[in-house]
Structure 1
Amino acid sequence: MLIVLLLKQGHKMTSAEFYDKFVCPELPDQNENPHLYTAVVKHMIHGPCGKLNPTNACMNKDGKCKNNYPKSFCFATVHGKKPYPVYRRRDNGKQVKVRGQILDNRWVVPYNPYLLAKFDCHINVEICSTVEAVKYLYKYIYKGHDRVAFHVYSNETKNEIDEIEQYQSGRWVSPPEAMWRIYKFALHEIYPSVQSLQLHLEGKQLVTFRNTDNLNVIVENDSSKETMLTQYFYMNKMKKNPKNLLYKQFPKEFVWNSQSKTWNKRGTKKTKKVIGRVVTANPIEGERYYLRILLNHIGTSTSFDDLKTLNNKKANTFHEAALMHGLLHSDNSLDLCLQEATMYRMPCSLRRLF
């Protein structure tokens, strides 16, 4: 079972000094706390593996431990390159014999002394110190339920096997999950709310319709031409954006009504925080990609043509307009695109983007 605890503001652990108060990967003093020492030796010692036991279950094809044990000695806890910090593992001479081998602090799995002493079972406690760890944990938790292929059969032999009849689909529900669902507690929550903002070139917005609808009527209908982006231009044209908010900042002050296709001013009463995210565009898309760059830096445009205009000089393409505004002079737009994608995309989609 995996449990993720999110601490409130003011209680978050932001430095290595706090890490050492809650997570420990070292052998405790046997004389001062014999109960905790026994629990660590019984539940929190990894392996041994590697040269000490090449056939251990954690060994991969390369002959290395997939959990990277034994760890290296470290005098103080520091932030590492990986999602989790490098915990303090001092070479203080403490050793213990486990499964026929003499092991030291390098083999101790990180634990919380209070939880381990209270429940006396294997409880691995880690601190997520980077956004990559948070992304991994959330995608791991919500990847779906674990499944297994199985079939039920009798001792009677059958000449014919009916795979459809034998197929079974089910999953095991643990008592904590059952209780959580019975009391209708929320399984997940997104805060703050994220508003996806449409991105399209002029006249190339998505339009939904039924098979029975008349396409000529849909094309001529003005509402089909109104989108989040075109109405954002309209708000700028009507001087209803006095703060010159960027397209991605617009949801902070305005609410999109999908029925009337209009941006409405948020009420004066305290409302929940909303942030906007312009949908991504791949650099190989050309003009759509450069349109996104312009929208992320210019907040006063009233139309697609206005985005292309600077000092009364109109560019022919969004790419030329981005050059005129100096948004491509650094020549790192591709690096920024990949950097933004690493915050939320999975490896397979990152490879396609690259």
Structure 2
Amino acid sequence: MEIDDNLSQCLIEASVFQFPSALRRLFATMLIFCEPGNVHKLWDDHYASLSEDYRTQYGCAERVQNMVLIDIRFFLESMSKKLSDYDLPNVSPHIDLQSRGYHEVQEEYSINVEYEDLHTRDSLNLDQKWSRWTWKDILYKALLANIRACGLIALATATSSVATNNIPRGRTAHSLFGIPLNLDNNLMCKITKQSGKDQTFHKEKVIIWDEAAMAKRHAVEAVDRTMQDITDEKLPIFVYLITCPFHTLIKLNQWTL
């Protein structure tokens, strides 16, 4: 069918510039809005591109296929569709995907990395051309994009809601960490163990907290205390990265900058 040929060509062209996570989103969008005649053939023809990132991380072919299908299922369900509505393989129930089934974790894995953000690192050595504010934003975008492009989770937050607009998928610290509104000594954040948010913090490789110096001391201590609890760490979680005019807190988890 001509429409299938056009969709196939679109996926081929997109694979040159887009990461597999973006291709999976595009594939799901095609299923919903373009109604290809032979879904299984489209899947077979482009599975290599759809699964490229997972194949480099995992040796089990069945696990890789499960992860690709679950990503596509997530996008379909966001549009009130189901994986079973289409001629696609079934998710193997005996393959353990651990926290991948959590909605919050799935959302983080599925973030679409912008091409411009990924390549902003090429401009980092030219910081004299920008104000300190702009340099900071470029640094954050480059760091987040390059980690997410590797199929890893990078979380970004800021103390003020205004600052979150300058960070890709930025959220306020109160929203991300569940910081209590009424702060006091020894308080913990509202994160339940074995919840989706708990599993997200177990999987993330970096957390950037912009404008951390603007947060109340009890808020930072509550976050640090909570992170130690859910990750079973006994040392302070965050380290400082100095970016004028505000300090930024960075949490690294087995990640080399």
TM-score (norm 2): 0.23
User: RCO greater where, 1 or 2, for CA within 8 Å and sep 6 or more?
Assistant: 2
Structure having the larger proportion of residues in helix: 2
* Higher CA-based Rg: 1
